[in-house]
Amino acid sequence: MKEIVIISGKGGTGKTSITASFAYLGDKDVIVADCDVDAADMHLLVQPDWGKSENFHSGLLAKIDQEKCIKCGKCAEVCRWNAIPVIDKKYIVQPLDCEGCGYCAIICPTDAISMNLQNVGNWFLSNIKTGTKMVHAKLGIGAENSGKLVAKVKNEAKAIAEKEGKEIIIVDGSPGIGCPVVSSLSGATYVVLVTEPSVSGIHDLKRVYELVKKFGIKAGCIINKADINMEKSNDIHEFLKAENIDFIADIPYNENFTKAMTMGKTIVEFDNGKIKQILENSWEKIKTK
């Protein structure tokens, strides 16, 4: 089974618009996973029916049983995050500050502190407008930036792909280089890097590719808004050559991306010209990798 993960390092490069196009072009041959759980937007283009929903629990949170608490203050003393202030003469855990390490629960002389799994969000299994299935999620506000929720989304997508005999999973990866991206990349068979020819685009491309290299996964690159700065575009092409990254396509700057988005459509449904052709060719290249 192929697991194609699309990432960008930097936000706003068109990663989700491009991923949604591949999901559309892949039609019934693919299963889609939106692993950008922090700001999941792909649903706005592919109209899932939010078919099945489940709570997702992850990360521990300390809770103090005030009945058992003798106010010795040992918990507050050992907490490296100052997450247990005294409020109205009671020791109260601040959920946004608690790291979930459990040190307080171990040190508490009266066993007044319990560590409980937090409900950090929901995940969904939906049918999208092409009739194929998509797994997606919604992370609660201020929740741990959960690599585990990303892993859950991917595993559910894999299970469905296996059950339905689908050969390809398309994954919209997370931004940045931290824990959610690491989760998005684990198990990938091919990585598509979406970038733009700007100083920030190149900077972030290089950083995120260093991470991809650590995993030893083969990668290809799409340069969006390629004509906005030809010099920087060339720099990216040089970088791709030097690192032996497949060049997939240059996409010119085009406001149809936004127009399609405002209509809730993928760009390949909206644009009948050059952009559509480029993305179709890109998808043909990627799916045979």
Report the DSSP beta bridge partners of residue 14.
none
Q: Mask: binding to another protein, 261-280, rule CB under 8 A, as x and -?
A: xx-x----------------
Number of residues that bind another protein (CB under 8 A): 68
Residue whose structure tokens are 């992850």: 58
79: left (phi over 0), alpha (psi -120 to 50) or beta: beta
Residue 215: alpha-carbon gap to chain centroid: 17
Q: Which is nearer to another protein, 214 or 281 (CB)?
A: 214
Neighbours of 60 (CB within 10 A): 18
Of 66 and 226, which has the nearer Cβ to another protein?
226
Among 28, 90, 163, 203, binds another protein (CB under 8 A): 203
Q: Which of 69, 72, 76, 177 binds another protein (CB under 8 A)?
A: 177
Q: Where are the alpha helices (DSSP H) in the chain?
A: 15-26, 43-46, 74-78, 103-107, 147-164, 179-185, 199-215, 230-243, 256-262, 267-270, 274-287
Task: Tell me how long the chain is.
Answer: 289
**Residue 179 binds another protein, judged by CB under 8 A:** yes
Instruction: Please give the residue ranges that form the binding site for another protein (CB under 8 A).
Output: 1, 9-13, 16, 38-39, 41, 44, 58-60, 78, 80, 96, 99-103, 106-107, 115, 139, 141-148, 151, 155, 175-179, 182, 186-187, 196-201, 203-204, 207, 210-211, 214-216, 225, 228-229, 232, 253, 255, 258, 261-262, 264
